Structure 1
Amino acid sequence: ISIIIPCHRVVGTSGSLIGYAGGIEKKVALLMLEHTDMSRFFVPKKGTVF
């Protein structure tokens, strides 16, 4: 379902990967599966607050 409904592609205005119900790790995995250039994004660590 995650590939069909692409909520994992939502990125914050600052370029941070935010707001994915499946978790940031799964969001990153899906983006990498799509060969997304991850150098453009900030991947928050657990406990990071914006």
Structure 2
Amino acid sequence: MLLLFKFKSYLNILLMVELSNILFNKAARKSIYYAREVFLKMTLVRKTH
């Protein structure tokens, strides 16, 4: 019985880690995309002036 409980809590931890990884990856991708956009705008501004 205790082993089953431990296994369940282990699965819960794995699930939490997976979810946080997915969320982190999404956020990282968004921030990288945003940074690239800003960088492109900056270079465009520099070229036009």
Identify, as 1 or 2, the structure richer in helix.
2
With normalisation by structure 2, the TM-score equals 0.27
The structure with higher relative contact order (CA 8 Å, sep 6+) is: 1
Choose 1 or 2 for highest CA Rg.
Answer: 2
